[in-house]
Amino acid sequence: MSTVLNRHPRKRRGPLAGLIVADFCWMGVGAVATRMLADFGADVIKIEDRTRLDMPRRLPFYKGEVRTYGEEDPHPDPNKGGLFNNYNRNKLGITINMRTERGRRIAEELISKASVVTENFAPGVMERWGLTYERLRELRPDVLYARMSGYGHDGPHSEYRSYGPVVQAVSGLTHISGLPGREPSGWGFSHMDNQAAYYNSAAILMAVLQREITGQGTEVDVSAVEVGINLLGPVMLDVAVNGRSTRGPDFPTGNRLEHPQAAPHGVYPAAGDDRWVAIAVFDDTDWKALVTEVGAPEWTADPRFATQTDRFAHQDALDEYLSAWTREHDPHEIMHRLQAAGVAAAAVQHAGDLNESDPQLAHRGTFFELDHPVIGEARFEGSPVLFSGIEPDNWRSAPLLGEDNEYVFTTLLGMPREEIAELTREGIL
């Protein structure tokens, strides 16, 4: 159901109400981190530059008008960015030209009123604007300065540029992905942009909690590469203890699982165009239930499949037999039948399944809709966490470019409207 709300800022609701964030973040890794704060009541004030648009503003991605990275419009309508709309819901939006001295002074006034400052530029950008942690502490002694970058803000690679696929490669994630005997596949999606964003949100909330206890601010430095390395624990242990290589004729294992020995374990073709189903069998009980559901054909009595160890040793033959059965059935039918029998199975769902027909997601209220003055009604993925007595404060879709200039500069900084109008004409706001 669509929710059409008054776009004029109001007092926020939620556990983070009253927290003011001066948000210099752009792209996904920073914007998703501060979106989580905005969802639960923080006044996140997104600071933009009219002459250097955030990349997601240049990528229309809604209702049939789609462009991907590398196809961005050089002269876009800045308010048509569907990806920007998703990343920046529930935020306020202002524009400041940080290349001007007056613009930097206004930003410093805003920082003095905020208690959290966030940024995810390449290291050195904020320093060129004079916004070091030492300067921020002069403006606000208890400030939380949350900094997010690819490599971290010190070290020999700290100034290297990065995006999600770069982080995935450097952290080692790309090297261990794919199929055995094939080149590393990586991901088509910037997985680490989102994964690092969750660490960023958690780090900010820990810093807020520490300040509540001690009254002291802090500088937070999150390295997306190090976040990626944190996802490699079992593989690094295997290398260190067993001396295994992370690439070879039998590794990566693709959809197969080695520990514990599980077979069949993989993603199998199903009836329909490009439809698939995941099935995982871990022991003889699972196997017997699977055999019953497939109708106990002759191949299930093959001695090669007598025990879990046997099945694990003959996965190629087993997968071929099982695929012949799964191809004849709808993936959701297989999922429901096997789950009812106690076997872990799931249809591989596409966007249409998630948005339109998944009853679990509908029950949980995973998706919600907000109106937008330019894009129109748009759908968002909600918080994956439900609380008793706490709800997200979804009050508005993403801000139009500079939409909240007058509100923020008059209400928070006390600037006269005439001055705001003059600074806008001069290209400072």
pLDDT in tens, 69-128: 667 677 788 999 888 999 999 999 999 999 999 999 999 999 999 999 999 998 899 999
How many C-beta neighbours within 10 Å does residue 218 have? 18
| Average pLDDT value for the chain | 92
Helix or strand holding residue 403 (H, E): none
Percentage of the residues of the chain whose pLDDT score is greater than 70:
95
Q: What is the mean pLDDT of residues 375-383?
A: 90
Distance between CA atoms of residues 230 and 172, nearest Å: 10
Residue-wise pLDDT tens digits, 297-306:
999 999 999 9
Distance CA 62, CA 235 (A): 39
Q: Tell me if the bond preceding 56 is cis, omega within 30° of 0.
A: no
**Would you say residue 5 has pLDDT above 60?**
no
C-alpha separations of 76 from 53, 73, 87 in Å: 9, 5, 18
Q: Where are the alpha helices (DSSP H) in 118-183?
A: 125-128, 133-139, 164-170
Return the percentage of the chain with pLDDT > 90, whole number: 72
Which residues are the active-site residues? 193
User: What is the pLDDT, as a whole number, of residue 2?
Assistant: 47
152, 221 contact by CB (below 8 A): yes
User: How is residue 42 annotated by DSSP?
Assistant: -
Q: Is residue 234 scored above 90 in pLDDT? A: no
All residues at 6 or more sequence positions from 277 whose CB lies less than 8 Å from its CB, including other chains: 267, 268, 270, 326, 331, 334, 335, 345, 346, 347, 348
Bond from prior residue into 78 cis (ω within 30 degrees of 0): no
Distances (CA, A) of 168 to 86, 196, 376: 23, 11, 34
CA distance 81 to 57: 4
Query: Which two tokens mark 307?
Result: 């025990």
Q: Distance (Å, rounded) from C-alpha 38 to C-alpha 5?
A: 16
The DSSP string of 329-381 is: S-HHHHHHHHHHTT-EEEE---HHIIIII-HHHHHHT-EEEE--TTT-SEEEE
pLDDT band at 1 (very low <50, low <70, confident <90, very high): very low
Classified as helix, coil or strand, 280 is strand
* Mean pLDDT computed over 132-152: 96
C-alpha span between 117 and 136 (Å, rounded): 9
Q: Which amino acid is at 72?
A: E
Q: What is the pTM of this model?
A: 0.90
Distance CA 14, CA 36 (A): 12
pLDDT band at residue 410 using 50, 70 and 90 as cut-offs: very high
337 pLDDT higher than 60: yes
Q: What is the pLDDT of residues 276-315, one digit of tens each?
A: 999 999 999 999 999 999 999 999 999 999 999 999 999 9
For residue 159, what are its two tokens? 């100034």
